[in-house]
Amino acid sequence: MSTSSLAAAAAERAQNMRQRSDRPSQRRCSEQTGARATVRASLSGVQVRETGDAGALEFRGHASVYERGYEMWDMFGPYTEVVSAGAGTDSLARADLDVPLVLGHDQLRRMARTTTGTLVLAEDDNGLSVYAPALDPADYDVAYIAPKLRSGLIDEMSFAFRIESGQWSPDYTEYRINRYDIHRGDVAIVGYGANPHTGASLRQPAAPPNRARALLELALAR
């Protein structure tokens, strides 16, 4: 974002917002009106590997990186947004937490889910970590995305959530999310994203040939 457009948007924001705790209005990922408001991050140390359990795949990654600024837009223009460390603690502690791992925020393309025990979300030193211990390689979406992750064609994640608490900087150029609710949101594997602070890879450990492995390699080679 240019310094001039950031300053102009901040000036408008300062004149029109009642208080610094007000949430961004018309929050979105790009200048285009109507764009999604999800936070995205390039995958940090993502791994997809065979677990040895009937060819199941283990997935690890980060859907958000905390304490790193990324560009967002509101009704006034561009600003920098930051997710605070620990912002998801309360939401992730819910006993009924319901969050799926999906492709492209498409709720019909689910590969794992917290309610079924196939997805584990947690906060670590980097941000919001995502762990799916046993993705089914026979699942269409798993077979579709695995080779793209391995080749580096896809290397970013995102998460959909609701802001519960945040605050603007004194000059209204930065908004910090202090608490979010991810219940009934999602963590998603996506293409280009707004938060470019991590990297991605796909790795399979060496293992003796077997029928399950042969089927997995066939799926990844498609």
The two tokens of residue 150 are 């391995």
Instruction: State the Cα–Cα distance between residues 46 and 11, nearest whole angstrom.
Output: 40
Q: Report the pLDDT value the prediction gives residue 213, as an integer from 0 to 100.
A: 42
Question: Going along the chain, which residue ranges are E strands?
Answer: 39-42, 47-50, 57-65, 70-74, 77-83, 100-103, 106-113, 120-123, 127-135, 156-168, 174-190
pLDDT value at residue 206: 39
Number of separate helices (H) and strands (E) present in the chain: 4, 11
The parts of the chain modelled with pLDDT lower than 50 are: 44, 193-194, 197-222
Answer whether 40's CB lies under 8 Å from 32's CB: no
pLDDT at 4: 80
This model's pTM is above 0.85: no
With contact defined as beta carbons under 8 Å apart, do 156 and 130 qualify?
no
Q: Which two tokens stand for residue 219?
A: 């799926």
Q: Is the dihedral of CA 12, 14, 19, 25 positive or negative?
A: positive
Pairwise CA distance, residues 76 & 112, whole Å = 37
Q: At how many degrees (to 10) do helices 211-220 and 140-151 cross? A: 70
Buried b (16+ CB within 10 A) or exposed e, 179-214: bbbbeebbbbbbeebbbbbbebebebeeeeeeebee
Q: What is the pLDDT of residue 204?
A: 43
What is the SS3 assignment for 216?
helix
Of the candidates 191, 188, 216, which has an alpha carbon nearest to the alpha carbon of residue 113? Answer: 188
DSSP run (H or E) holding 150: helix 140-151
Burial of 131: CB neighbours in 10 Å, binned 0-12, 13-18, 19+:
middle
Q: Which residues pair with 50 in a beta bridge?
A: 57
